[in-house]
Amino acid sequence: MNIAELKLEIIAKIIATDDVILLNKIKEVINDYDSNLIANEPPAIYERIRVFSTEEKRKINLALQQVENGECISDEEAQKEIQELLEEVHIFTPEQRKRILNSLEQSKTGNIMTDEEAEIDIQKWL
């Protein structure tokens, strides 16, 4: 069955039904699909509620305050500063510099290691 046939079959079933619940569900699916196209991301599915600790809340509030006060820089600015620092500092071996630059590239793509993985990696460098 090709797309045109599938569309016709679905349309025929929609026309043939008088089930209001089914029609509302179909409408909801279409509306969700349309809104996801605008946002270009899948709908959020929450499996559990995350409760922040007092310390986490304090850090979040501090970060929000810093953003409101303009006490932050963009990711691009931070990456540029790190690159400049790496070029100025000569204490890293070429292999270490390569791994640091690789880590920066991974952070740009969202491929970031956990704190534990980072700690292990740092210990290998030292």
Burial of residue 4 (number of CB atoms within 10 Å: 0-12, 13-18, 19+): exposed
pLDDT score at 38: 60
d(CA 126, CA 124): 6
Contacts of 121 (CB under 8 A, 6+ apart): 99, 113
pLDDT score at 101: 78
d(CA 20, CA 24): 6
Tens digit of each residue's pLDDT (9 = 90 or more) over 92-122: 777 877 887 787 777 777 666 677 777 777 7
Q: Which of 42, 62, 43, 44 is nearest to 52 (CA)?
A: 62
Parse the chain into domains and list their residue ranges: 3-37, 74-124
pLDDT score at 30: 86
Tens digit of each residue's pLDDT (9 = 90 or more) over 43-99: 667 777 778 899 999 999 998 998 888 888 888 888 888 888 777 766 777 787 788
For the record, the structure tokens of 67 come out as: 């953003």
pLDDT score at 116: 76
Contact 104, 79 (CB under 8 A): yes
Average pLDDT over residues 1-21: 90
Q: 91: part of which helix (H) or strand (E)? A: none
Residue 39 clears pLDDT 60, i.e. is over it: no
For the record, the structure tokens of 114 come out as: 């956990």
Question: What Rg value do the Cα atoms of the chain yield, rounded?
Answer: 25
d(CA 3, CA 5): 5
